[in-house]
Amino acid sequence: MEVEAAKMIGAGLATIALAGVGVGIGNIFGNFVAGSLRNPGAAGRVFGNVLLGFALTEAVALFALVIAFLILFG
Amino acid sequence: MASPLEQFEVKPIIPIEVGGVDVSFTNSSLWMVAAIVVATVLLTVGMRGRAMVPGRMQSIAELSYEFIANMIRDNAGAGGRPYFPFLFTLFFFILFCNLLGMIPYSFTPTSHIIVTFAMAAVVFIGVTIIGIAKNGVGFLKLFAPSGVPIFLLLILVPIEIISYFVRPISLSLRLFANMMAGHTMLKVFGGFVISLGIVAGWAPLLFIVALTGLEIGIALLQAYVFTVLSCLYLHDALHPGH
């Protein structure tokens, strides 16, 4: 196989990490909504933590992006 | 069409060379200076009146002070108070680098890993020195959580040590990758608008408007996350016994 084509396939494969990140972000916000319906009073206090968890999970997706770029252009 | 990564090119504005080392004043430096100037002007002009009942500008300055002070109190504990000036500066520098980068044709210094890595390295080295200075040998308790069976420690200690030394990398990579990915995505959708033309180009254009809102949110969020994580690392250094 040509190296160029292999690079493209590799970069595409690197984006599989997004499956896990999708599950993670869905989990965070799903549980936040479920929790805040049970106890609306606490919703405001934990929202900062929700955003922190979201940012930490999103970062995993971006690590995958960095790997994809490294494969493509590195 | 130009590559979507072209916007991250560092171009020298005033070429300077000292002893064979290129220390030119680049567009990156220009926007870093702009971030510092905007933050300083916002806070000093805002606090000039020192009114008992704050106006709009003074409220921004006072609210941002309280925001960071509360963040440090909640995440680093009372011992984090002396480090307020550093964390406040860090937050505002990152925030304004990110926000000024959202202006079309501007440059985002935080979209370069060397800039974010320098900041993360300062945090990491500083926190390690603080931890050793405050706790001495007790700082090593950070790597050995209390109440863990001895055979589990054999596995846990290497993991804790690795996760400690990965911190500056993950901290810098998170901010850098967020900024770079956001700006690249905007550029890619901008390319769609041009290539689809007047017939279907309005659809990606609407998407760009929404994305710009999201990116401004991310600019705030990433500055917040960077500072919160610095606070948490500081908390670890001040109270190493888990």
Q: Is residue B118 domain-resident?
A: yes
Lowest mean pLDDT among A70-74, B28-32, B163-167, B216-220: A70-74
Percent of chain B with pLDDT over 70: 99
pLDDT for res B46? 85
Structure confidence by residue, pLDDT tens digits, B179-213? 988 898 898 888 889 888 888 888 899 999 999 99
Indicate whether B1 pLDDT > 60: no
Q: Is the dihedral of CA B52, B54, B57, B59 positive or negative?
A: positive
pTM (predicted TM-score) = 0.87
ipTM of the complex: 0.73
A18, A25, B1, B181, B188 from B5: Cα distances, Å? 22, 27, 12, 10, 9
Phi then psi for residue B13, to 5 deg, are: -100, -50
- Residues in A touching B174 (Cβ below 8 Å): 55-56, 59, 62
pLDDT for res A70? 86
What is the chain A residue with the closest CA to B178?
A62
What is the chain A residue with the closest CA to B218?
A55
Indicate whether B4 pLDDT > 80: no
Is residue A42 less than 8 Å (CB to CB) from chain B?
A: no
pLDDT for res B23? 84
DSSP letter, residue A15 = T
What pLDDT band is residue A73 in, cutting at 50, 70 and 90? confident
Q: Is residue B135 domain-resident?
A: yes
| Average of per-residue pLDDT across A35-62 | 86
SS3 sequence of chain B: CCCCCHHHCCCEEECCEECCEECCEEHHHHHHHHHHHHHHHHHHHHCCCCCCCCCHHHHHHHHHHHHHHHHHHHHHCHHHHHHHHHHHHHHHHHHHHHHHCCCCCCCCHHHCHHHHHHHHHHHHHHHHHHHHHHHHHHHHHHHCCCCCCHHHHHHHHHHHHHHHHHHHHHHHHHHHHHHHHHHHHHHHHHHHHHHHHHHHCHHHHHHHHHHHHHHHHHHHHHHHHHHHHHHHHHHHHHCCCC
Residue B100 corresponds to which tokens in the numbers above?
Answer: 């000024």
What pLDDT band is residue A45 in, cutting at 50, 70 and 90? confident
pLDDT for res B168? 93
Indicate whether B30 pLDDT > 80: yes
Its domain, for residue B117, covers: 6-238
Please answer yes or no on whether B177 and A55 come within 8 Å at the CB atom. no
Indicate whether B22 pLDDT > 90: no
CB atoms within 10 A of CB B209: 9
pLDDT for res B242? 58
Indicate whether A17 pLDDT > 60: yes
Percent of chain B with pLDDT over 90: 46
Burial A16-25 (b: 16+ CB within 10 A, else e): ebeeebeebb
pLDDT for res B97? 94
- Residues in B touching A62 (Cβ below 8 Å): 173-174, 177-178, 181
What pLDDT band is residue B86 in, cutting at 50, 70 and 90? very high
Structure confidence by residue, pLDDT tens digits, B146-173? 788 888 888 888 988 998 998 999 899 9
Q: Is residue B193 domain-resident?
A: yes
Q: Is residue B138 domain-resident?
A: yes
Q: Is residue B1 domain-resident?
A: no
Report how many domains make up chain B.
1
| Average of per-residue pLDDT across B107-133 | 93
Question: Which residues of chain B approach chain A closer than 8 Å at the C-beta?
Answer: 170, 173-174, 177-178, 181, 221-222, 224-225, 228
Please answer yes or no on whether B221 and A55 come within 8 Å at the CB atom. yes
| Average of per-residue pLDDT across B78-85 | 90
Residue B65 corresponds to which tokens in the numbers above?
Answer: 């002070």
Q: Is residue B30 domain-resident?
A: yes
